[in-house]
Amino acid sequence: MRIRSLSTALALTCLAAVPALAQVNLTPFYSGLDSPVFLTGQGNNLFVAQLDGTIVSIDRTTKAAQTFFTVPDLASGGENGLLGMAFDPNYASNGRYYVDVTTTVGGVLNSEVRRYTNPAIATEVASVILRIDQSASDIHKGGWLGFGSDGDLYVATGDGGPGYDPNHRAQDLTSLLGKMLRIDVSADAFPADPDRNYTVPASNPFGNEVFAYGLRNPYRDSFDAATGDLYIGDVGQSTYEEVNRIAAGTSGQNFGWRPLEGTVPTPGLGDPIPPGTTPPILEYGHVDGDAAIVGGYVYRGSAIPPLYGRYVFGDYVSGHLWSMALDGSDKQALSADLIPFLHPSSFGQDSDNNLYVVDLNGRIFELTGTADAVPEPATWAMFIAGLGMTGASVRRRRSRQVVVTA
């Protein structure tokens, strides 16, 4: 991975060369976290999931932070740990939230979706909702969770690795890997099955949990708050990164992995191309340091009018951020080495549809409009110095935690 120099010019620049359509600032919001990998909003709080299992609650107004919960019994190393979380649509009354984690069961690496309950609302023993064998490798876990407007829980799974999906899981409709899953978790109690404690929606296209397939490592996905369309950032192998879209009311898409990487046959394989595959709405190649997409959100906030209705996403390796029109056209840069050592591990959205960038190096940035004050040089210097971010410390942190694998 390319380590950019911590220069004064980079530290103090704030999108001087951004196209007029997408004039935004990245404003420091919070720092000092430990490998944050996801952010979501609930009421006036932001909830940040860290790879070690700690969920931190941050008050949006005061920026006071406290530990909300620490998820126990997690596997570590590689892409293992706490990877995603989602609040139940009825969280205010039932206190339920869900996490996607990796853990070791009987000596075997597994992905688990677990349900917990906020003890301030109710007392409940943690429930394992879904467990999937991940013994093939410690990469390509996906890990995103999200509730659709239908009330069902969507679960993104990677192909489980290693590279090039040698077991063809992404195209196998009997496997839950390399998929977008949809399950119904609304019941108060489920059958006593240690691996499958949910019901399958009757409208799922294949009669099982699979909602869409042919994905390699869908790392960060989101629903458009206005349309209900589902956007998927799928990390490529060696040639292309892609953004896929599932229009609201549709299902059953095959996005083509592993026979296809983006819209081209995966180099060196020669797999037959399945008929009827759905191409990405956008793909980009591995140039200028880009190598691992991080899916984002369609901006539906009010603070940045030029960005409204555009999809915002980025690349973990290069640190580049972009926006695009919802059909994949008009891709525009939001940054070019703007923030020193930026490695976006996720984007996040609060309850008012404001957008945030989560940096694996421990920082949270908020996307703000150009009318907002640009941080003074001293502010940037304090923000960076507060992390102790020398080049050596960043290299140590990256060698310890790698979340997005190309």
Using CA atoms of 376, 340, 290, 372 in order, give the dihedral in degrees to the nearest 10: -10
Does the pLDDT value for residue 402 go beyond 60? no
Nearest-Å Rg of the Cα atoms of the chain is: 20
Question: What local confidence, expressed as pLDDT, does residue 150 receive?
Answer: 97
Question: What local confidence, expressed as pLDDT, does residue 20 receive?
Answer: 36
What's the predicted TM-score (pTM) here?
0.88
CA distance 352 to 354: 6
Mean pLDDT for the stretch of residues 146-169: 97
Q: What is the pLDDT of residues 314-331, one digit of tens each?
A: 999 999 999 999 999 999
Does the pLDDT value for residue 5 go beyond 50? no
Mean pLDDT for the stretch of residues 40-53: 97
Q: Please state the length of the chain.
A: 406
Q: What is the pLDDT of residues 341-387, one digit of tens each?
A: 899 999 999 999 999 999 999 999 999 986 443 444 444 444 444 44
Please, which pLDDT band fits residue 295 given cuts at 50, 70 and 90? very high
Exposure string (b/e) for 23-45, b if CB count within 10 Å is 16 or more? bbbbbbbbbebebbbbbbbbeeb
Cβ atoms of residues 406 and 292 within 8 Å = yes
Question: What local confidence, expressed as pLDDT, does residue 395 receive?
Answer: 31
Please, which pLDDT band fits residue 191 given cuts at 50, 70 and 90? low
Domains and CATH numbers, the chain: 33-317 (2.120.10.30)
**Strand-pair category, 240-246 with 282-285:** antiparallel
For residue 176, give the amino acid letter: L
Cα 282 to Cα 24, 130, 207, 278, 370: the distances in Å are 22, 31, 30, 12, 27
Q: What is the largest CA-CA distance in the chain?
A: 59
Does the pLDDT value for residue 120 go beyond 90? no
